């Protein structure tokens, strides 16, 4: 038992190390938002000027709201559609299924630059053009494969007998899905949603091709800014986003259970 | 075996359609059709623009074989993808195990979320921050020299290791979360049963835990390997003059010389190679499990 | 998908988009690099107040992208900023239209050699109004030098090993190699010499830069000694950001470029475009731009004359000795561009 205890503590320490690795650049990003030098110059000189100028930067703020809006809608649509598709791929056996599964990889494998160019040409061709609608259309498509792959991985652990048992007890298809399958795959759906949000929120290339000057997203603004006027305002806005989402997430974790507790 | 067992309780495409159609229609409109236009371009000598002449050709594909450069870079990119994936397994799998089997209750949910949160910040800002850590006189260098009694010189920036560090940092959450999803599903009583039958921890790991969590490992590996092979942003900024990879030359064709046909052909070759590798690797991995 | 049909679709969309754009004739749509004068908020506000037109800025990140935007959005833009070396290509693609220079009151003050540049004038018609020009030369980190070097050879000095930086751009790299090997940048006879020069430079290099911000960060953290840089950017780094950067125009010479404004074919607001271009070449705008932000050299002689005697853009860039050393970039064909890229890629791969 003692060994188990020690191993458990080692495990916790390991998680701590991993989080330290993951958050190292985030902490530096946040620190630099309070540093006076626009070029991350050291020694550190405290300032809140970047937050003050961020407050004045309507363009950056508008782009941030666009990004949040698009990422939230993308997350919702791609999680719902993706989970449905995963269920179908799991539940049913049919010809061409392997092909459908293989088709999930082109959007991930083809560099976004090419996908973005292709989307621009095609969306023009069919009359959608550029703008927030086009960006949303593209983002959902990019996020879908991630959701399907992640949810499918979770579904692989699901015992089909459970669905059969529920059916034999007289549950209809909807009840089976709603009461049996969905609770089981929920951690997968949540993880897929988190990835979808990340894919959309940090998506630069495709958004870049599909945005118009008035309708742009945060990463597009950032990449355009580094040509000339990159300032730690970018760090400031990223820091605010991280702090707010961390608060939201910890609240969520406090009040909802989704980790698949048995 | 596992495939048949875990899936397909029912036959037929018809009942599956209502669930499949929305997602695949969306993918068709936003990705497959646009990419088919690109496939079309990849067989052309030039873009179909008013002032240009164009014809059909296989030249863009044969160009790949005519120059050693492309193959060298493709191999370099595949190696990069493999190394990053392996590091992600080594770092991510144990973390997923701890998360799924050691931590309980609220702290598990909180950490689950904390692991993905860094990726809601901007990718470019993250890379700039890594530059601050890794460069000479940067944070790593300064900290180590302050702690260690002897003087060392750490300048990892603009090197291959810097590219690996940056990419592993970007992709390890995929591995942690996909492995978590399958590890968490393993019934604790299975592990206990194995142990009580006299199996060592290692045997339980090898015979029970790894095989049962294989779908997560495979999904994670695919989600990491595939995009890393085509990456160009992180290698360029963190790798400096060593940061030229296959993704870089595709980007050049699109951005620098406006040769979309060649750029498209190069990316479809990449796609084909990646799909072949996935097709070959998946059964091997499953059997290993 | 059938290609003629796609082209037809594109045209149909374009017509549709232009129809929409027509309703907002009071807007002037400007396509330019971001942070390059035309989008300065004070300038936009000033212009809007003076003329009543509303400015809508759009940006590109490479010349190729600018051409793509013009091709895929016919009728959307009223003003586009084009490097003179690309003017020819834009005109040949029927992307820009002739400009009636008599409508621009400031046009007469443009330096004659720039206004009459064969790159901007075709068949006796004006296709581009020269705006500013500058150099791709060498800049140094003042902390690393007691006195500024005079020769490009400094970049090959082993003392700077691992502290040299050049831009990740095939054309710029090859033309730089041409200057270093004593050749005409627009007529490179000896590619092998260029290749040899660049090959021996590679081990000196720390990394490649792609934006001004890269350069400024590297200098701020004292990671580099010397590298290729743009004159306007070096000026901005020094005057605006107070970084220890100064520009050197090597005795071997430097690459010069000329930026000009054009009016895209199908513009819905030519009058607004003319007013905007005229405002951009006005000395009043230029002086404010160069003092507040830092800028390349104006093509308007009156604008340069209003600068203080010792201003870099007047003293150094206006120096006849310097003028002799610099070589203006001429148009580059697609074949040359691909050849340069192949060479550049080979160099980058071999260094790994």
Domain ranges of chain A: 51-255
Residue A258 in contact with residue A191, Cβ under 8 Å? Answer: no
Identify which has the larger pLDDT, B3 or C173.
Answer: C173
- Predicted structure pTM score: 0.88
Identify which has the larger pLDDT, A23 or A171.
Answer: A23
Chain B contact present for C223, CB below 8 A: yes
CATH code assigned at B275: 1.10.3720.10
What are B167's two structure tokens? 């990419």
In a domain, B120, yes or no: yes
In a domain, B121, yes or no: yes
Determine the average pLDDT of the residues in A234-262. 79
Task: Indicate if C119 and C153 belong to the same structural domain.
Answer: no
Task: Indicate if C138 and C187 belong to the same structural domain.
Answer: yes
CATH code assigned at C236: 3.40.190.10
In a domain, C318, yes or no: no
Chains touching C (at least 3 CB pairs under 8 A) are A, B
In a domain, C176, yes or no: yes
Q: Among all residues of chain C, which has the CA nearest to that of B238?
A: C207
In a domain, B42, yes or no: no
Task: Indicate if C238 and C204 belong to the same structural domain.
Answer: yes
| pLDDT higher than 80, residue C247 | yes
Give the Cα separation of A82 and A189 in Å (integer): 9
How many whole angstroms from its chain centre is CA A31? 24
How many whole angstroms from its chain centre is CA B107? 28
In a domain, C295, yes or no: yes
What confidence tier does B109 reach under pLDDT thresholds 50, 70, 90? confident
pLDDT of residue C11: 44
Task: Indicate if C145 and C292 belong to the same structural domain.
Answer: no
The rounded mean pLDDT for chain C is: 88
Interface of A with C in 17-56 (CB under 8 A): 37-42
| pLDDT higher than 60, residue B4 | no
Task: Indicate if C58 and C69 belong to the same structural domain.
Answer: yes
Suggest the residue from C208, C335, C340 to mutate for an interface test with chain B (most B CBs closer than 10 A).
Answer: C208
Chain A contact present for C56, CB below 8 A: yes
| pLDDT higher than 80, residue A255 | no
Suggest the residue from A39, A42, A45, A219 to mutate for an interface test with chain C (most C CBs closer than 10 A).
Answer: A39
What confidence tier does B106 reach under pLDDT thresholds 50, 70, 90? confident
| β-pairing verdict for C129-141 and C164-167 | unpaired
Determine the average pLDDT of the residues in B256-278. 88
pLDDT of residue B49: 62
Percent residues over pLDDT 90 in chain C? 62
In a domain, B153, yes or no: yes
In a domain, C189, yes or no: yes
Range of the domain at C44: 3-16+23-131+258-311
Task: Indicate if C8 and C99 belong to the same structural domain.
Answer: yes
Percent residues over pLDDT 70 in chain C? 93
What confidence tier does C240 reach under pLDDT thresholds 50, 70, 90? confident
What confidence tier does B9 reach under pLDDT thresholds 50, 70, 90? low
What confidence tier does C93 reach under pLDDT thresholds 50, 70, 90? confident
Range of the domain at B82: 68-288
Query: Å from B162 to nearest chain A CA?
Result: 13
| pLDDT higher than 90, residue C193 | yes
In a domain, B1, yes or no: no
| pLDDT higher than 60, residue B17 | yes
pLDDT of residue C155: 96
pLDDT in tens, B195-216: 888 888 888 888 889 988 998 9
Task: Indicate if C282 and C298 belong to the same structural domain.
Answer: yes
Task: Indicate if C76 and C139 belong to the same structural domain.
Answer: no
Determine the average pLDDT of the residues in A95-106. 87
Task: Indicate if C93 and C171 belong to the same structural domain.
Answer: no
Domain count along chain C: 2
| pLDDT higher than 70, residue C260 | yes
ipTM summary value: 0.89
Task: Indicate if C209 and C336 belong to the same structural domain.
Answer: yes
Suggest the residue from A226, A231, A233, A234 to mutate for an interface test with chain C (most C CBs closer than 10 A).
Answer: A226
Determine the average pLDDT of the residues in B19-47. 90
Of A111, A146, A149, the CB nearest to B247: A111
In a domain, B43, yes or no: no
Task: Indicate if C165 and C115 belong to the same structural domain.
Answer: no
Per CB-CB distance under 8 Å, the chain B contacts of C334 are: 257-258
| pLDDT higher than 50, residue C8 | no
Domain count along chain B: 1
In a domain, C324, yes or no: no
* Residue B256 to residue C3, Cβ atoms within 8 A: no
At the fourth CATH level, the homologous superfamily of domain A51-255 is: MetI-like (1.10.3720.10)
Chain B contact present for A253, CB below 8 A: yes
| pLDDT higher than 90, residue C256 | yes
Task: Indicate if C10 and C111 belong to the same structural domain.
Answer: yes
In a domain, B82, yes or no: yes
What confidence tier does B1 reach under pLDDT thresholds 50, 70, 90? very low
pLDDT of residue A262: 46
Q: Among all residues of chain C, which has the CA nearest to that of B51?
A: C93
């Amino acid at each position: 038992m003692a060994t188990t205890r020690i191993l458990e503590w080692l495990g916790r320490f390991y998680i701590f190390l991993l989080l330290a690795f993951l958050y190292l650049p985030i902490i530096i990003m946040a620190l630099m938002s309070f540093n006076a030098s626009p070029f991350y110059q050291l020694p550190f000189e405290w300032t809140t000027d970047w937050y003050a100028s961020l407050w004045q930067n309507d363009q950056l703020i508008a782009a941030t709201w666009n990004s949040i809006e698009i990422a939230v809608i993308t997350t919702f649509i791609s999680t719902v559609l993706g989970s449905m598709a995963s269920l179908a791929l799991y539940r049913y056996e049919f010809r061409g299924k392997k092909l459908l599964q293989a088709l999930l990889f082109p959007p991930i494998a083809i560099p976004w630059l090419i996908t973005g160019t292709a989307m621009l040409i095609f969306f023009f061709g069919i009359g959608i053009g550029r703008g927030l609608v086009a960006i949303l259309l593209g983002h959902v498509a990019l996020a879908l494969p991630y959701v399907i792959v992640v949810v499918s991985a979770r579904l692989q652990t699901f015992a089909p007998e459970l669905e059969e048992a529920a059916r034999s007890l007289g549950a209809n298809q909807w009840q089976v899905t709603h009461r049996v399958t969905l609770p089981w795959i929920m951690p997968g759906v949540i993880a897929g949603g988190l990835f979808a949000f990340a894919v959309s929120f940090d998506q630069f290339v495709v958004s870049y091709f599909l945005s118009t000057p008035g309708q742009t997203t945060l990463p597009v603004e950032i990449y355009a800014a580094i040509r000339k006027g990159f300032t730690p305002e970018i760090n400031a806005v990223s820091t605010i986003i991280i702090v707010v989402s961390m608060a939201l997430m910890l609240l969520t974790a406090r009040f909802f259970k989704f980790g698949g507790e048995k | 075996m596992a495939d048949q067992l875990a899936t397909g309780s029912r036959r037929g495409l018809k009942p599956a359609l209502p669930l499949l159609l929305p997602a695949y229609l969306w993918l068709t409109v936003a990705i497959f059709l646009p990419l088919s236009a690109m496939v079309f371009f990849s067989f052309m000598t030039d873009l179909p623009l008013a002032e240009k002449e164009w014809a059909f050709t296989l030249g863009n594909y044969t160009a790949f074989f005519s120059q050693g450069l492309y193959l060298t870079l493709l191999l370099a990119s595949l190696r990069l993808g493999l190394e990053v994936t392996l590091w992600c397994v080594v770092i991510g799998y144990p973390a997923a195990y701890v998360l799924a089997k050691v931590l309980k209750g609220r702290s598990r949910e909180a950490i689950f979320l904390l692991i993905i949160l860094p990726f809601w910040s901007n990718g470019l800002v993250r890379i700039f921050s890594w530059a601050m850590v890794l460069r000479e006189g940067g944070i790593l260098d300064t900290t180590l020299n302050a702690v260690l009694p002897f003087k060392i010189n750490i300048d990892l920036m603009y090197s291959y290791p810097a590219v690996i560090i940056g990419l592993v940092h970007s992709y390890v959450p995929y591995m942690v979360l996909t492995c978590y999803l399958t590890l968490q599903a393993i019934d604790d009583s299975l592990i206990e049963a194995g142990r009580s039958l006299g199996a060592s921890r290692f045997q339980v790991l090898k015979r029970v835990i790894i095989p049962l969590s294989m779908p997560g490992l495979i999904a994670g590996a695919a989600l990491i390997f595939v995009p890393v092979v085509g990456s160009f942003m992180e290698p360029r900024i963190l790798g400096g003059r060593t940061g030229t990879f296959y993704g870089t030359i595709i980007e050049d064709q699109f951005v620098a010389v406006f040769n979309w046909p060649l750029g498209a052909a190069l990316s479809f070759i990449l796609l084909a190679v990646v799909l072949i590798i996935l097709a070959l690797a998946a059964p091997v991995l499953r059997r290993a499990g | 998908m059938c290609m003629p049909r796609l082209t037809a679709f594109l045209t149909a969309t374009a017509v549709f988009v232009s129809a929409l754009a027509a309703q907002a004739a009071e807007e002037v749509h400007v396509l330019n690099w971001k942070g390059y004068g035309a989008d300065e908020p004070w300038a936009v506000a000033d212009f809007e107040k003076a003329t009543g037109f509303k400015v809508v800025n759009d940006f590109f990140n490479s010349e190729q992208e600018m051409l793509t935007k013009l091709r895929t959005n016919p009728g959307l833009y009223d003003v586009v900023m084009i490097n003179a070396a690309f003017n020819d290509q834009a005109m040949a693609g029927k992307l820009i239209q002739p400009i009636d220079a008599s409508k621009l009151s400031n046009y007469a003050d443009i330096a004659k050699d720039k206004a009459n540049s064969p790159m901007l004038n075709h068949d006796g018609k004006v296709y581009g109004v020269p705006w500013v020009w500058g150099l791709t030369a060498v800049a140094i980190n003042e902390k690393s030098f007691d006195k500024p070097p005079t020769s490009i050879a400094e970049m090959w000095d082993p003392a700077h090993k691992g502290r040299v930086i050049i831009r990740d751009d095939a054309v710029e790299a090859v033309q730089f190699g041409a200057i270093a090997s004593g050749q005409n940048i627009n007529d490179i006879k000896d590619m092998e010499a260029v290749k040899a020069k660049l090959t021996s430079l590679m081990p000196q290099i720390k990394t490649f830069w792609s934006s001004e911000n890269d350069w400024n960060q590297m200098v701020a953290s004292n990671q580099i000694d010397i590298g290729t840089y743009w004159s306007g950017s070096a000026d901005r780094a020094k005057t605006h950001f107070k970084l220890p950067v100064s520009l050197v125009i090597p005795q071997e010479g430097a690459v010069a470029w000329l930026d000009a404004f054009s009016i895209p074919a199908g513009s819905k607001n030519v009058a607004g475009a003319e007013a905007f271009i005229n405002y951009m070449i006005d000395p009043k705008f230029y002086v404010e731009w160069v003092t507040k932000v830092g800028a390349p050299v104006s093509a308007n002689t009156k604008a340069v004359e209003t600068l203080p005697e010792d201003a870099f853009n007047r003293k150094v860039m206006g120096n006849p000795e310097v003028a002799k050393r610099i070589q203006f970039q001429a148009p580059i064909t697609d074949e040359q561009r691909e050849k340069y890229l192949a060479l550049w890629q080979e160099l980058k791969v071999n260094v790994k």
